Structure 1
Amino acid sequence: MNKIIECIPNFSEGKDARKIARISGEIEKIKGVKLLNVESDVDYNRTVITFAGKPEAVKDAAFYAIEMAAEVIDMSQHKGAHPRIGATDVCPFVPVSNVTMDECVQIARSLGKEVGEWLGIPVYLYGEAAIIPERHVLPDIRKGEYEGLHEKFKDEKWMPDYGPIEFNDNVKRTGATVIGAREFLIAYNVNLETKDIQIANKISGIVRTSGILKNNEKGEKVRVPGLLKSVQAMGVYLKEYNITQVSMNLLNYKVTPPHMAFEEVRKQAGMLGVQVKGSEIVGLVPKDALLSAGRFYSRESSEEGLVAAAGGGLGLSQLNKFIPEKKVIEYMLGLD
C-alpha cells in the first residue's frame, strides 16, 4: 500500500501572486507529489500551501519550496496581521496513509538539518519532532516573532536546532523556520461582525485552552484555563472585510470539532453584543469533521447532504465560496 504524508508550509507572502506562484511551482515540479491547495490572505500577508504524496518526494518538495521562499521573500520588509518568524514560517508534516508519526518525525528532522546547513536558515524543531521539550508548542517558539530573532539568538535556551546562530545578512532576509510533525490540525477562523480587535482578543482568551493570565486577590498572576480543549486562538483584524476574527488552530478536531468551536465563539460574542454570521477553513479539512458538523446542524443522512449542511451551519461561504471538492482532503486525494 502507498505511503502518503501531507505537508502544510505557511509562507510569509499573501499579496504578490507571482512570488506565490514561484513557490508553489517548485512543489509541482516534484514527481510523486500532488499540490492540493494554495490559500492566500492579504491581511495576514500569508499563504498556506497543502501538498501530499510519497514521503521522500514530499520532503524534497518542501526543501525546494523553502529555498524559493528564501529567494523571493525579504522578511526585513514584511508586515502582516499573523504572527510569523520567517519567510517559511512553519512547515509541518502529517501522516495520512500507511505512515507512522515516527516516520514523519524523521523526515522533519532530516529536512531541518538540510535547510539549516544547505540554505543557512535557522531551524527550530517543534511538535512531535521537537528535540527540546520546551519547543513542542509552536506559539512558544514564535514569541517575539521575526523582529525578536536578534535578541532570541543571544539566549542559550533559544539557540536554533540547526543552522546559523547569529542574525547575519542572510538571516535578516529569511528569518527562521519552524519544522515539525503533528497530527491533522484544522486552521479555523470565526468571523465577528465588529472591527474592535479587543473583542476578538477577549473571546480568544476565553475559548483557547491556555486561557488568560489574571491577577488574584493577592495581586499574583494566575492562569485561568479556557473553555475549549486542544485549541489555540488569537484575535485578528481583517482590513479587507472590515471585520475581526477569532483565528483558531483546532489541534485535535475529534476533541473540539469546528462546530463546537463555532458555537462557543458565537455564544461568547453574543454575550458581548456582537453577531457571528460565518467562518472559514484555511487549507484542507478531514471529511469526518464536516460530517460531524452536518449531523449537528441537520437531519441529513447522505454524505453530500451532511457536507452541505455543515457548510451552511458554519457559514463557510461568507467570505469566499466553500467548495467541498477543493477543501476536503479525502476528495482532493481521491481516497473516497
Structure 2
Amino acid sequence: MASGTPLRPESRHSRGWLLCEPNVSEGRDETRMARFAEAVAATAGVQLIHRSADADHHRMVLAYVGDPEAVVESTAALAAEVYEAVDLRRHRGVHPRLGALDVVPFVRGPGCPEAEALAAARSFGERAAARGIPVFFYERSATARERASLPRIRAGQFEGLADKLARPEWRPDLGPPAPHPTAGAVVVGVRAPLVRFNVNLATRDPGPARRIAAAIRASGGGLPHVRALGISLERRGLTQVSVNLTRYAVTPIPTVYDRIVEGARAEGVAPAGSEFIGPVPAEALRGLDPRRLDADLARDQILEFSSTETGASE
C-alpha cells in the first residue's frame, strides 16, 4: 500500500512538466522490457517514474516526465527500440491493440500549457510517420470529432487495420495509408489524467467478468465516464474487470469497485484483489484507503496533477 505524499516531479523549465504514458505491446519478455525502459531513462531531462507489465494482457505501461522537448526525445528513443523488437504478427494478448507502440498519451503537468503538449504530440507523430508508421491523433489532438475516441480508432485491432485504412474516412492523419507490416499503427494525443483500475475475480469462466463490465460501462447505460472490459487471465487462473475511469470526480473509484463486487456476488464469484495500472492522480485517491479495495499501490504511482484539467477520456 502506498504511503507518504504524492510525487511532484521537478521541472527546470518555467512552463512545467509533461507526462507520457506509452502502452507497448510487450508484457512477457523481460529483456525487451528492460531495454525499452532504459531507452527512456537514458534521455537527459527525463525522469522514469513508473513501469508495469502484464503477461496476459501482453502489454507494458511506462510513465515518465520532463520538459516537452525531452519527453518527445525519450519517446522517439523508445519507439526505435519497440519497432525493432516487436512483431505484431506474432503478438497475442487479451488487451486490444493496433500497434507495437499502441498508444502514446501526453498529459500536462502543472505549468505546462496545452499548446506545448499539443506540439509535443504532433512532433512525436511526425517522427513515427517518418518511420513508415500510420499515425492517428486522438483526444485533444484529434483532427476530426469522430477520431477523438481511442476505442473507436482501435476497433478491428491490428488484424483489421489494412481494411480499415483502405476506407477513405480512416486515412491516417500522418504516415502511409497502409499498416506497417510488423508495427501496425500508433495512436498519439493529449488527454487529461485518468485512473486505470482492474478488479480480479476468482474464476476461470470469463462470463461473469464480461457481464459485469457490460453492466457498468457508460456505453451500455452503466456508470458515467466508465469504460470496462471483461477478460481472462489464463496465466493467473483468474478473470478480470478492467476499467478506465475517465472522470473520476464524477464516478469515483469506490463507486466502481462496489458495483463490481456487487455484480460478482450476484454471479456467485468472489473478488480476488484489485490493482492500479500506471500513475494515479492524487486527487482521485483523497480519502481512500487502498486496503478497502484489496489493492497494492506503490508510492511511485501517485502523481500530483493539482492544476491539470480532469475531463478527457482514454
Q: TM-score, normalised by structure 1?
A: 0.84
Match of 1:311 among 280, 290, 300: 290
**TM-superposition CA deviations, 1:41-95 (whole Å, max 9, x none):** 0011100000011111111111111121101111111111100001000000001
Q: Are 1:177 and 2:189 matched, yes or no? A: no
Match of 2:95 among 68, 75, 82: 82
Within a 5 Å distance, the mapping from 1:16-35 to structure 2 comes to 16-35=29-48
User: 1:216 aligns to what?
Assistant: none
| Letter in structure 1 aligned against 2:235 | E
Within a 5 Å distance, the mapping from 1:1-336 to structure 2 comes to 1=14, 3-116=16-129, 118-167=130-179, 171-211=180-220, 225-226=221-222, 228-293=223-288, 310-317=289-296, 322-323=297-298, 325-330=299-304
The whole-number CA distance in structure 2 between the counterparts of 1:52 and 1:210 is 32
Unpaired runs of at least 5, structure 1: 212-224, 294-309, 332-336
Matched-pair contact (CA < 8 Å) for 2:47–2:64: yes
State the SS of the aligned residue for 2:280.
coil
User: 2:11 aligns to what?
Assistant: none
State the SS of the aligned residue for 1:201.
helix
Greater C-alpha radius of gyration: 1
Across the aligned residues of Structure 1 and Structure 2, the Cα RMSD in angstroms comes to 1.4
Matched-pair contact (CA < 8 Å) for 2:198–2:275: yes
CA offset at residue 27 of structure 1? 0.8
Matched-pair contact (CA < 8 Å) for 2:15–2:113: no
State the SS of the aligned residue for 1:173.
coil
State the identity as a percent: 37
| Letter in structure 2 aligned against 1:24 | A
| Letter in structure 1 aligned against 2:97 | R
User: 2:312 aligns to what?
Assistant: none
**TM-superposition CA deviations, 1:181-217 (whole Å, max 9, x none):** 1000111101112222121111111101101xxxxxx
Matched-pair contact (CA < 8 Å) for 1:185–1:252: yes
Matched-pair contact (CA < 8 Å) for 1:67–1:119: no
User: 1:214 aligns to what?
Assistant: none
User: 1:220 aligns to what?
Assistant: none
CA offset at residue 101 of structure 1? 2.8
**TM-superposition CA deviations, 1:230-276 (whole Å, max 9, x none):** 11111111112211111011112211222111111111222222222
Unpaired runs of at least 5, structure 2: 1-13, 306-314
**TM-superposition CA deviations, 1:311-333 (whole Å, max 9, x none):** 2101113xxxx33x2221249xx
**TM-superposition CA deviations, 1:74-126 (whole Å, max 9, x none):** 1111111100001000000001110133332222122112211x211111110
Matched-pair contact (CA < 8 Å) for 1:106–1:129: no
The whole-number CA distance in structure 1 between the counterparts of 2:246 and 2:198 is 13
User: 1:306 aligns to what?
Assistant: none
The whole-number CA distance in structure 2 between the counterparts of 1:105 and 1:255 is 26
| Letter in structure 2 aligned against 1:183 | A
The whole-number CA distance in structure 1 between the counterparts of 2:132 and 2:177 is 10
| Letter in structure 2 aligned against 1:200 | A
Matched-pair contact (CA < 8 Å) for 2:194–2:281: no
Matched-pair contact (CA < 8 Å) for 1:101–1:182: no
CA offset at residue 152 of structure 1? 0.9
| Letter in structure 1 aligned against 2:103 | V
